[in-house]
Structure 1
Amino acid sequence: MSAFEGRSTPVRMSRRYDLFRRFMILLCRILFGLKIQGMEKAPKDGPLVIAANHIQYPDPVLVCMAIPRRMQWMGKKQLYEPPYKRFFEFIGSFPVDREGGGRAGVRIALAYLAEGWALGIFPEGTHKDDGSAREAKSGAVMLAIRGGAPVLPVFVSKMPGPLARLRGERLRLIVGEPITLDKGLRGGKAYREAADDVLRTIYALPKENRKDQA
């Protein structure tokens, strides 16, 4: 059996997924003043590793709104329990057993990239509420190099509460330029250094975007 375990792999957005994505964009514009910047920078096809910061639970859905194509997420297997299992499968994700080393998850991820999918990963691992950067893990870099995919950096801001909205704060999703990694990179140290560079690029996007608009 293939790494997909018999699952179909429609790279194009289904009508139901597209409607869900458009509805969420509209809802977040109303509730949080959503602003998406750089959406046009996302490659429309071909293998792609999307690397985003992670500061709140809804981040996978928020990143999906910024990328106009189907995606697959790697998620810890503990999330795939009722009532959440069906939702995670709908947005496009598969469970990874971190305690088992995650090797099966890596095989599935590489199989998706080989089929031309976009793969979403949070280099920081778990989310961090204060918005500060964690140490980057090397999984996104390793998969991008082995899967022959560029890395697309995406910055997600914190979802503003009612008082923050009154102060004019907005939910921002910023897509950066795709990063082509050196295919010759090998070894843990090289992967970690490249992962640190990717994470710095992600957190620099808000400042760079303000410069572009000045």
Structure 2
Amino acid sequence: MHLTIFDTPVVNTVLRALSVTFLKLTGWKVEGSLPANCTKSVFIAAPHTSNWDLPYTLMVAFALRLNIYWMGKESLFKPPFRGIMMWLGGIPVQRESANNLVAASVAAIQAADGPLQLIVPPEGTRAKARYWKTGFYYIATGAQVPIIMAYMDYEKKVSGLGPVFIPTGDIDADMATIKAFYAPFKGRNADQFHAN
């Protein structure tokens, strides 16, 4: 995977301190920690209802000392912003080629020498979505890594890492369990999120 802001020592240290300070001053609480056996994992990013999710996700990642990569639509990576978005951990996604994306993500996780947490929003968009995409599930099963149920609740101002979820292979049952966990959380635009 490409070099990111999380791999840049001095910048990482400064931004971690700023992130922790900002989150505290604005009343946000960060919960959980990454288990030692989950340094390679797939994070569910939900609810995803606003552009504000990205800066808050980056700050929470700094606070929790994570090494995240996140998926975003290709249009976010147009010049002159491509370099900065990649440095922030972004991976451009062409939504029409989801199968290739799953295979490429699996290969990247398997090839990574160090920690790598890949964040995937199951809604696939911050707009109102009734159905969740299952790419995160197939990436995790293909790479044989756990799923971390990460969350951001704007109503309660709490974000963090929830339970580790190991896929069973029964995708219908697993998705029902995952969605039940996310049902109480409120995105910035709460009416756009449906965990069902």
What code does the residue aligned with 1:56 have?
S
**What CA distance in whole angstroms lies between the structure 2 residues aligned with 1:87 and 1:170?**
31
Task: Find the residue that maps to 2:163 and give its secondary structure.
Answer: coil
**What CA distance in whole angstroms lies between the structure 2 residues aligned with 1:11 and 1:113?**
16
Seen in structure 2, the aligned counterparts of structure 1 residues 122 and 12 have a Cα distance that, compared at 3 Å, is same
Task: Find the residue that maps to 1:118 and give its secondary structure.
Answer: strand
Seen in structure 2, the aligned counterparts of structure 1 residues 9 and 78 have a Cα distance that, compared at 3 Å, is closer
Matches within 5 A, 1:14-163: 14-30=9-25, 32-38=26-32, 40=33, 42-44=34-36, 46-53=39-46, 54-67=48-61, 68-99=65-96, 101-114=97-110, 115=112, 116-128=115-127, 134-158=130-154
Instruction: Determine if the alignment matches structure 1 residue 203 to structure 2 residue 176.
Output: no
Select the structure that is richer in strand: 2
Please identify runs of 4+ aligned residues in structure 1 that moved more than 6 A.
Answer: none
Matched-pair contact (CA < 8 Å) for 1:11–1:117: no
**Which has the larger Rg?**
1
Matched-pair contact (CA < 8 Å) for 1:51–1:153: yes
Q: Deviations over 1:104-148 (max 9, x none)?
A: 43233113311241100111111147xxx8421101111010011
Q: Structure 1: give runs of 5+ residues left out of the alignment.
A: 159-168, 207-214
Deviates more, 1:138-147 or 1:196-205: 196-205
What code does the residue aligned with 2:51 have?
Y
**What CA distance in whole angstroms lies between the structure 1 residues aligned with 2:144 and 2:84?**
29
Aligned length: 178
Q: Return the offset for 1:43.
A: 2.7
Q: TM (normalized to structure 1)?
A: 0.70
Q: TM (normalized to structure 2)?
A: 0.75
Q: Structure 2: give runs of 5+ residues left out of the alignment.
A: 187-196
Matched-pair contact (CA < 8 Å) for 2:73–2:93: yes
Residue 171 (structure 1) aligned to one of 157, 161, 183: 157
